[in-house]
């Protein structure tokens, strides 16, 4: 089982570290495998790093951070910071590859963060971005995203996370994803709530895995002093690899260490 959560941190950056820890601590019990965050503030001197605070509070590893060309800030004390995207991973999750690319042109340009993760032999390509407000701009961003070569390789599933809902009808989703090897899982529109989006895509043909999804749900707010916990969309995926010919290579992606040493089904890598 792989549990994914998306969280827009835009409304949390002004809170004190103590208040943030109190607010997010209850989420630790959810057993998150992958947390995709938007609007994470990261100061160049390292003194203000929301992703590190989240990783310590939730027991996750801060795996990667990405910011666009126009997302720099200047504090009153002269220190520079960037507001961008972050991915955090849980215990037992391997990050096989990560990076970023741009979608859109000129003023609409946005950075897309990606990470290829693996847990218990199941691979997921995670995509994380700030989605434009206007429907036409959203469509242009998604069109560029699904034209990226990353979406031509084989994965167990693809997860798309963003900071606002996509106002795109089902037929347009089908058109936008047509140039990639992936489509909406069971033709279900992405889960949305408030300022978030969580979307699952699976292979349109020659799938290497069978994906079962639990309906996305909103993390329930706690009572009392933790009642201000920000809601986040979550999704639990069960990914089972299809049986392959014993003579063929395994379907799931291998880490660089496994490629170098040679894959063996029961070999443990650290």
| Every domain of the chain and the residues it spans | 2-261
What is the topology classification, in CATH, of domain 2-261?
Deoxyribonuclease I; Chain A (3.60.10)
The pLDDT value given to residue 173? 94
pLDDT for 259: 59
Which residues in the chain belong to E strands, given as ranges? 2-8, 34-43, 61-66, 72-74, 80-89, 94-103, 110-119, 122-129, 157-162, 182-184, 191-193, 196-203, 209-218, 233-241
Model pLDDT for residues 110-137, shown as the tens digit of each residue: 999 999 999 988 899 999 999 998 999 9
Helix, strand, coil % (nearest 5) of the chain? 25, 40, 40
How crowded is residue 70: how many other Cβ atoms within 10 Å of its Cβ?
9
- Based on DSSP, count helices (H) and strands (E) in the chain, helices before strands: 5, 14
The residue with tokens 């994380």 is 128
CA distance 198 to 215: 11
Name the β-bridge partners of 236.
3, 214
Pairing mode, if any, of strands 157-162 and 122-129?
parallel
d(C-alpha 173, C-alpha 82), whole Å: 31
CB proximity list for 232: less than 8 A, separation 6 or greater = 5, 6, 7, 27, 196, 218, 219
Q: What is the pLDDT of residue 230?
A: 52
Q: H helices within 150-255, ranges in order?
A: 170-176
Q: Looking at residue 93, what is its pLDDT? A: 93
User: In this predicted structure, what is the pLDDT of residue 258?
Assistant: 56
- Give the chain's residues under pLDDT 50: 74-76, 216-218, 225-228, 245-248, 265-270
Query: pTM of the predicted model, to two decimals?
Result: 0.81
């Amino acid at each position: 089982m792989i549990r994914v959560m998306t969280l827009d941190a835009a409304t949390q950056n002004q809170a004190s570290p103590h208040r943030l820890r109190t607010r997010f601590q209850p989420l630790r019990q959810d057993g998150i495998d992958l947390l995709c965050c938007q609007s994470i503030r990261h100061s160049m001197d390292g003194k203000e790093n929301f992703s590190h605070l989240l990783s310590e509070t939730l027991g996750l590893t801060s795996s990667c951070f990405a910011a666009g060309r126009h997302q720099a800030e200047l504090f009153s004390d002269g220190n520079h910071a960037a507001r961008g995207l972050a991915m955090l991973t849980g215990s037992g999750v391997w990050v096989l590859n990560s990076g970023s690319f741009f979608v859109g042109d000129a003023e609409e340009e946005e950075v897309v963060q990606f990470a290829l993760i693996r847990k218990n032999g199941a691979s997921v390509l995670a995509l994380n971005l700030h989605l434009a407000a206007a429907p036409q701009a959203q469509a242009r961003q998604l069109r560029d995203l699904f034209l990226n070569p990353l979406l031509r390789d084989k994965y167990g599933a693809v997860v798309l996370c963003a900071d606002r809902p996509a106002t795109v009808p089902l037929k347009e989703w089908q058109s936008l994803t047509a140039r990639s090897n992936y489509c909406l899982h069971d033709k279900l529109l992405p889960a949305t709530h408030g300022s978030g989006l969580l979307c699952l895509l699976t292979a349109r043909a020659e799938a290497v895995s069978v994906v079962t999804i639990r309906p996305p749900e909103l993390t329930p707010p706690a009572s009392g002093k933790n009642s201000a916990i920000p809601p986040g969309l979550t999704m639990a995926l069960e990914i089972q690899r299809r049986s392959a010919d014993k003579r063929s290579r395994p379907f799931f992606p291998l880490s660089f260490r496994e490629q170098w040493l040679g894959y063996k089904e029961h070999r443990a890598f650290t």
